[in-house]
Structure 1
Amino acid sequence: MTADESWRLLEQLVQEVNQQTEQLKEMQRKARELSATATSEDGMVTVTVGPRGEVRTIEFDPRVYRRLSPSELSACVVEQIGHATRQVSAGMKELMEPFVPDLPFDDLFGEGTDFESFLPRPPGTT
């Protein structure tokens, strides 16, 4: 291999690394902005969660207090948080897939494992 060929190869490798770095930065930006919203079938409860599954907003239809008991309302909120968190996990997996296309989440980490299980948890939670 000549010196010119070596330099061209090195330039090509540097260009590829720079391109991958930019793609990773873009993926990180999109991941930070990722959110999902879930609304109950009756439209009474809407929940939005952020990229780590943190609850950002909970909205209630004004009629919710006449239609649902406190325990039904609580269960509905929890259910919508679960739906939105699964949507965020799916979005995060979709963002990451180009970088780890063949990562078999279920085979490696157990059936039903999703990206959320890899996220850091706030102190004091389990």
Structure 2
Amino acid sequence: MRAYADELREMFNRLQDEGLELHAQAKAVQATETSRDGLVSVTVGARGELVRLDLDPRIYRRPDARALADTIADTARRAAESAQRRVIEIFERVIPAEQFKAHLDGDVETVMAWLANDMGGGR
């Protein structure tokens, strides 16, 4: 238990020392992905929010609204995944990547399992 408390204290101190810089770096993250056909380009921010959407005029040659919507959604999803990976990489110096990803994904069960395991009381 003492070792875990020491580890948490060390992590907290590193976050306190580097937190503002890491936060600024993470907040500035943008990721751009292009659709497989090259006609759609999506840029998202650190949280996966849409920053820019570019559509090549050639999309109008095939007027298929459903296909275009699916292409935009898929490209945006891939861009959001890229942005999340970059944010995780930034914080990896102070928080293990798999733990940070679980937090970002809202995976409470995994987070609680790690906590219980680290405290020696795995369920």
TM-score relative to the length of structure 1: 0.65
Alignment partner, residue 49 of structure 1 = 44
Letter in 2 for 1:71: R
Letter in 2 for 1:26: E
**SS state at 1:93 partner:** helix
Shift of 1:35: 0.9
For structure 1, list consecutive stretches of 5 or more residues without a partner in the other structure.
1-16, 119-126
Sequence identity, in percent? 30
* d(CA) in 2 for partners of 1:88, 1:65: 29
Q: Calculate the aligned-residue CA RMSD, in Å.
A: 2.3
Letter in 2 for 1:95: I
Letter in 1 for 2:24: R
* d(CA) in 1 for partners of 2:31, 2:97: 25
Shift of 1:103: 4.8
Q: CA 1:97–1:68 in structure 2 vs 1: closer, same or farther (change >3 Å)?
A: farther
Residue 97 (structure 1) aligned with residue 92 (structure 2):
yes
Larger RCO of the pair (alpha carbons < 8 Å, separation 6+): 2
Q: Tell me how many residue pairs correspond in the alignment.
A: 94
For structure 2, list consecutive stretches of 5 or more residues without a partner in the other structure.
1-12, 107-123
Structure having the higher Rg: 1
Alignment partner, residue 8 of structure 2 = none
Moved over 6 A (4+): none
- Is the Cα contact below 8 Å between 2:88 and 2:97 reproduced in 1? no
